[in-house]
Amino acid sequence: MSTDPLNRTTAIDALPSELRPTYEILAAGAADILPADGLAERMLAARVEQRPLRVKLGIDPSGAELTLGHAVVLRKLRQFQDVGHVAVLVVGGFTGQVGDPSGKTATRLAQSAEQVIANAKGYFDQVMQILDPERTEVVNNDDWLGRMDLSTMLDYTRQVTVAQLLERDDFARRFAAKSPISLSEFFYPLLQGIDSVEIRADIELGGTDQTFNNLVGRALQRSRGQAPQAVLTVPLLVGTDGVEKMGKSLGNFVAIAEPAPEQFGKLMSIPDTAVATYAVLASDLLPDEVARVEQDVIGGGAAANRAKRLVARRIVALYHGTEAAQAAEAQFDRVHKEGDLATQAVQVHWDLSGTVHLPALLAGIGLTESTSAARRFIDAGSVRIDGVTVPAKTYDIPGDQLDGRLVAIGKRKVARVTNSIV
């Protein structure tokens, strides 16, 4: 890998002036572009051929939720769409049953075809929150890999050596530790490369953990007489713990489909050291805004808190809109201010099945002397549920909106309500 992997100056010099601003947009934030002039070369070729670039992203649905970590590469793919190119999403109907070994320390459990399909259904509504459906092709690699004859597959295997596979960090570590590596895992990069041949990819995107897999596609395309794809990788987003890569198995993730208040609360929990990273990879902040965030975080104190709030608002706004982000911040403040009350709260049990008459609940758990007093407190705006004021004349509430919530009147009367009916 080059010490200057993007080699941006040289690549831009090869482009006509009218393509240079587009190149800057597409290269911005990339961890690596391989080869260094690959993106520029593919852009020039597409211009000569008067066609859009075909930009590949492989998705092996391993769960039903997409996280901000997944969104990093999806937002880069959207940038390609915004300048006129086509996104080709390759759903791993076949490879998802194999399991990507990238970054794994042990053999990954295979999924059934049914699991892959079920997970994929949940993916697409979330994916299309980021991508432009009009410029997106969705294909399933089971359509070609599931039907490929053995002789064709063996012919492809001649393009990749075992020595090359063992150069991968994850395989090398497992081989040195004498940990099992299944033959199917060795096949995974080959299968992903075949996808590039089948869709005639110009560019393949991925996280930095996908570099090896993506480069295999170049070799296979060349063996089939195709112009080899360029590879553009993006950094991996650290999780809310600020240490490990964001992942659902570690519980350090923010899902893009989560409600705005939950997203905002999780983002406010990230350590100050990770705020600038989130600003660059997960928000739509411009470079000069990111620079200010970095300075404010270094300064610490109130400035760092303001910077974190800005980043959290902008990320939440990407998925829920500006108003929802502002409301999430206001709710966060209300709940945060209720923090001292939470330590004083007594646990109470109430039948929360169906609709709950709030005045009866308040009187029944001892927060008010009577139901009529409870109504007066509600109408005066003195009753809060998890920091949110109950609107006047709101006397009946669905029980599931109370289960586990903090119910408070004023500054001193507080209880946490849980369902007494199991």
Tell me how many domains the chain contains.
Answer: 3
| Final residue belonging to a domain, choices 311, 337, 363 | 337
Task: Clarify whether residues 292 and 278 are in a common domain.
Answer: yes
C-alpha atoms less than 13 angstroms from C-alpha of 77 in its C-beta half-sphere: 32
- Asked if the structure places residue 199 within a domain, the reply is yes
Task: Clarify whether residues 120 and 220 are in a common domain.
Answer: yes
Task: Clarify whether residues 36 and 93 are in a common domain.
Answer: yes
- Asked if the structure places residue 242 within a domain, the reply is no
Q: Which residues fall within 8 angstroms of residue 334, CB to CB, at 6 or more apart?
A: 384, 386, 387, 388
Confidence (pLDDT) at 248: 75
| Final residue belonging to a domain, choices 169, 199, 234 | 234
- What are 413's strand-pairing partners? 409
CATH (domain of 307): 1.10.240.10
Confidence (pLDDT) at 296: 93
- Asked if the structure places residue 241 within a domain, the reply is no
Task: Clarify whether residues 189 and 53 are in a common domain.
Answer: yes
CA distance 256 to 114: 24
Q: Which of 211, 203, 193, 195 is nearest to 229 (CA)?
A: 203
Task: Clarify whether residues 308 and 351 are in a common domain.
Answer: no
Task: Clarify whether residues 20 and 135 are in a common domain.
Answer: yes
Confidence (pLDDT) at 106: 43
Domain range for 89: 8-234
Confidence (pLDDT) at 319: 94
Task: Clarify whether residues 203 and 329 are in a common domain.
Answer: no
| Final residue belonging to a domain, choices 192, 219, 234 | 234
- Asked if the structure places residue 248 within a domain, the reply is no
Q: Where on the phi/psi map is residue 368: left (φ > 0), alpha (ψ -120 to 50), or beta?
A: beta
- Asked if the structure places residue 144 within a domain, the reply is yes
In contact, 262 and 249? CB cutoff 8 Å:
no
In contact, 358 and 341? CB cutoff 8 Å:
no
Task: Clarify whether residues 358 and 325 are in a common domain.
Answer: no
CATH (domain of 28): 3.40.50.620
- Asked if the structure places residue 239 within a domain, the reply is no
- Asked if the structure places residue 32 within a domain, the reply is yes
CA distance 189 to 416: 52
| 396, two tokens | 């009946």
Task: Clarify whether residues 310 and 414 are in a common domain.
Answer: no
Confidence (pLDDT) at 3: 41
What angle is formed at CA 269 by the lines to CA 263 and CA 273, rounded to 5 degrees?
120
pLDDT along the chain (422 residues), means of 10: 50 83 90 94 94 93 78 95 96 75 48 65 82 94 93 91 79 82 84 96 93 91 95 94 84 89 92 93 91 91 92 96 94 71 76 91 91 90 84 90 85 82 57
Task: Clarify whether residues 227 and 293 are in a common domain.
Answer: no
Task: Clarify whether residues 307 and 390 are in a common domain.
Answer: no
Task: Clarify whether residues 217 and 303 are in a common domain.
Answer: no
- Asked if the structure places residue 85 within a domain, the reply is yes
